[in-house]
């Protein structure tokens, strides 16, 4: 009898393909069936640099490389993260439009994604910079941006004449992503300029254009002649340009906004991950294991040195030497023993901080860092 049942089941699937089980994350999905929804914190189509624009450049690169059509990617822009209900509403709207991959580009969307992922098991949720995931359809992704921060600190340290370097930061020691970048930057500065100090002004927001402007002005007024940043807009670089000091941009190359100030910019090349993600869905290899890229993967890097800036060959030599050490694994910034600005020691000789410590456990400032 069971053989008759098997034969009948087989012919049922041939005659009525709709009876086959529906697609679930981890199964192959035809490229033509891909439907992506993207949440942006601001309007990437109206900006020429900054956080949302960097993500959008990555989406465009993925679309071009994988050959997706425009109608296969839908957007919700200016999605405020002040309350999870804003992101939740935007996500539900995109899912109602039929998306099967939901890309949430901002830290502030994490609560909404975690809540909705179990409710929609046939949608893949990918969240940038967070620390939560599940075993079926919710993953997170980020990169070792501290590696590029360290390299940019070398340039800042060599260009500063006052030995006062400013850093406009979205958050203070409560956020390991931001604080780790500050510390890595300070280590790069110290490597070439032990006398320099890094002064941090916190805006308490990822995206606060006016707050970023005012923070940069305060740092410049106290004698900082290089302004770095971990905030979303180019406003700190614009202020550096107006004041006639140097700048280190972030997210995308900010020389368009500050052509005479920006030395280089710490870049996010998000396309490296978006290509990986969507291709894994197409070929059925998707997993929810968090993705943590590096200089070697190409997700982070530095923009070309500004042609308007005169850097001698020694600067280039040091940069390339340190880049090679990182890319070959000889060095990864948070190696050995590091002294904090409150007199403690972090790490051990001959070892390096774990990925978990780097991503979630840096709640201290390096010895040359001062928060205003």
> For every one of its 372 residues, what pLDDT tens digit does the chain have, with 9 covering 90 and above?
434 433 433 443 344 333 334 899 999 999 999 999 999 999 999 877 889 999 999 999 999 999 999 999 999 999 988 777 899 999 999 999 999 999 999 999 999 999 999 999 999 999 999 899 999 999 999 999 999 999 999 999 999 999 999 999 999 999 999 999 999 999 999 999 999 999 999 999 999 999 999 999 999 999 999 999 999 999 999 999 999 999 999 999 999 999 999 999 999 999 999 999 999 999 999 999 999 999 999 999 999 988 777 777 888 899 999 999 999 999 999 999 999 999 999 999 999 999 999 999 999 999 999 999
Find the helix or strand (DSSP H, E) in which 263 lies. Answer: strand 262-268
| Nearest-angstrom CA–CA distance, 123 and 113 | 11
What pTM value is reported for the model?
0.89
| Nearest-angstrom CA–CA distance, 332 and 100 | 36
Tell me, what DSSP letter sits at residue 87? Answer: H
């Amino acid at each position: 009898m069971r053989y008759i049942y098997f034969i009948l089941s087989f012919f049922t699937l041939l005659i009525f393909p709709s009876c086959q089980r529906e697609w679930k994350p981890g199964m192959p999905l035809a490229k033509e069936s891909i439907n992506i929804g993207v949440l942006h914190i601001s309007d990437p189509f109206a900006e020429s640099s900054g956080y949302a624009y960097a993500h959008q450049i990555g989406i465009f690169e993925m679309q071009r490389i994988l050959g997706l059509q425009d109608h296969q990617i839908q957007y919700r822009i200016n999605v405020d993260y002040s309350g999870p209900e804003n992101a939740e509403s935007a996500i539900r709207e995109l899912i109602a439009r039929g998306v099967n991959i939901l890309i949430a580009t901002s830290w502030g969307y994490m609560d909404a994604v975690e809540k909705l992922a179990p409710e929609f098991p046939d949608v893949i949720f990918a969240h940038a910079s967070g620390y939560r995931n599940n075993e079926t359809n919710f993953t997170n992704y980020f990169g070792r941006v501290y590696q590029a921060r360290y390299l940019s600190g070398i340039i800042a340290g060599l260009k500063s004449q006052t030995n006062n370097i400013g850093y406009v930061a979205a958050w203070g020691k409560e956020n390991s992503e931001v604080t780790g970048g500050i510390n890595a930057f300070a280590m790069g500065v110290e490597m070439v300029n032990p006398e320099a100090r890094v002064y941090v002004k916190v805006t308490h927001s990822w995206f606060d254009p006016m707050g970023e402007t005012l923070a940069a002005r305060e740092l410049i007024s106290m004698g900082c002649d290089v302004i770095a940043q971990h905030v979303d807009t180019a406003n700190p670089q614009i202020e550096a340009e107006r004041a006639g000091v140097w700048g280190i941009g972030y997210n995308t190359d900010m020389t368009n906004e500050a052509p005479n100030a920006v030395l280089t910019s710490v870049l996010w090349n998000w396309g490296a991950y978006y290509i990986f993600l969507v291709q894994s869905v197409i070929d059925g290899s998707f997993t929810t294991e968090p993705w943590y890229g590096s200089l070697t993967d190409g997700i982070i890097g530095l923009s070309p040195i500004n042609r308007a800036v005169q850097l001698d060959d020694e600067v280039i030599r040091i940069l390339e030497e340190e880049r090679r050490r990182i890319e070959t694994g000889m060095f990864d910034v948070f190696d050995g023993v590091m002294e904090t600005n409150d007199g403690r020691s972090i790490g051990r000789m001959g070892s390096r901080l774990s990925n978990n410590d780097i991503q979630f456990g840096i709640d201290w400032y390096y010895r040359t860092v001062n928060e205003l």
